[in-house]
Amino acid sequence: MAQSDNQADLRLIALVGQRDRDAFRELYGKYQTRLTRFLFNVVRQPQIVEEVLDDTMMVVWERASSFKGESKLSTWMFAIAYRKAVKALRRYDEPVEDHDRDGRISTAAGPEEEYELSRLRRLLKTAMAELSPDHRAVVDLTYFHELGYREIAEILNCPVDTVKTRMFYARRHLRRCLEGELPDWI
């Protein structure tokens, strides 16, 4: 994150701490897409992502004045989102997986490249779904949000070595699942 983005975040959270609704709307708009994507990749249940996002932003609203700037605001918010996601997963039953869905023939016709890309996405999605929420969170934060292990450790509230271990096992699992499909993927 650029220095000016960090300063803008600090300004926004300070205003939110003073109950400035416009600043909260701006902060929400800035982080909604990133947090939604992260939460979806952690919980893998679209029906609860919005609820967890709302819970996360409610905590940001209620505790904005407690943010001391010891980490980046995004790290603080992702940590809240992660904890809310883990709690939500404990409350909800696992959905029944449709094992036949990948075997069904698509009615949409498209170019060969689009088909191949779709197939690779499906393989990756299936492989990611087999990971635990902790492992998915590490992979998601690393590859899709480009965060370093230290920031991820702060978000997940665990030691950096735990993050590294989770990444090691997640990569090993993904390599095994994607073997021969994506030679240079991971």
C-alpha–C-alpha distance, residues 79 and 152, integer Å: 8
Q: Per-residue confidence of the chain (186 residues) as pLDDT tens digits?
A: 455 788 889 999 999 999 999 999 999 999 999 999 999 989 888 888 999 999 999 999 999 999 988 889 999 999 999 999 999 888 876 555 666 666 665 555 456 777 777 777 788 788 888 899 999 999 889 888 888 999 999 999 999 999 999 999 999 988 888 776 555 444
Q: Where are the domains of the chain?
A: 3-91, 111-178
Assign a CATH topology to domain 3-91: Rna Polymerase Sigma Factor; Chain: A (1.10.1740)
Coil, strand or helix: which one is 47?
A: helix
Instruction: Enter the DSSP assignment of 183.
Output: T
Place of tokens 């989102």: 81
pLDDT score, position 106: 55
The dotted CATH code for 111-178 is 1.10.10.10
101 burial via Cβ count (<10 Å: 0-12, 13-18, 19+): exposed
Find the Cα–Cα–Cα–Cα dihedral 141, 155, 126, 171, rounded to 10°. 70
Give the C-alpha separation, 161 to 93, whole Å.
31
The values of phi and psi at residue 157, to 5°, are 55, 55
